[in-house]
Amino acid sequence: MVKCPRCGYENATSSTYCHNCHYLLSDKKMKNTGRHRGWSIGIAKKIVIVLGIIIIAFLLFSFAYNNSQPSSNEALNIVSDDGSQHQSSSYPFKAVIKYNGNWYAKMGDPNYLIEKTGTGTSSYTLDCAAWDDVEISAEKYGGEGELTIQLLRNGKVVAENSTTDGYGDVSIKYDS
């Protein structure tokens, strides 16, 4: 006979519940498995939980790794211009050549000079960025008068040179 701990009623030994108050006397299933209070999760559920934790950890690591790497422009050391160094266009330099006769000139980035010929006063926008070095050289094709070259940056003269020699040449080298 098994006595109910709640009401004291005497129950048969094979009883699972008290016949008087229906209190659980013993759980034969739990006694057989050896598990008393706790989670009864199957092995498949445990594997799914562990895999889920591993996947979440991998995603967090990937996100942190990708955000800590330099961008492709930074990795290649590419410099870009945000426009803060000059006020006007992306080509802030202009060359002005003043002469009453014929002239020949080379101008631009020292590694990439363009050649021009002309008569009289002319101006050219140079394909140079704000940080480039700029070079202008010009010479007269005979004649008299003054040959003047000017380098303008954002509309302001930053360098100027001239000559009055018969077949004279003149140059400007500007380091940004």
Average pLDDT, the chain: 82
Taking residues 14-20, report their average pLDDT.
89
What HEC string does the chain produce?
Answer: CEECCCCCCEECCCCCECCCCCCECCCHHHHHHCCCCCCCCCHHHHHHHHHHHHHHHHHHHHHHHHHHCCCHHHHCCCCCCCCCCCCCCCCCEEEEEECCCEEEEEEEECCEEEEEEEECCEEEECCCCCCCCEEEEEEECCCCCCEEEEEEECCEEEEEEEECCCCCEEEEEECC
Give residue-wise pLDDT tens across range 25-74: 876 655 555 555 556 678 888 999 999 999 999 999 999 888 887 666 55
pLDDT at 76: 55
Q: Domain-by-domain residue ranges, the chain? A: 1-35, 93-174
pLDDT at 132 over 80: yes
pTM to 2 decimal places: 0.48
Give residue-wise pLDDT tens across range 76-113: 555 555 544 444 457 788 999 999 888 999 998 888 88
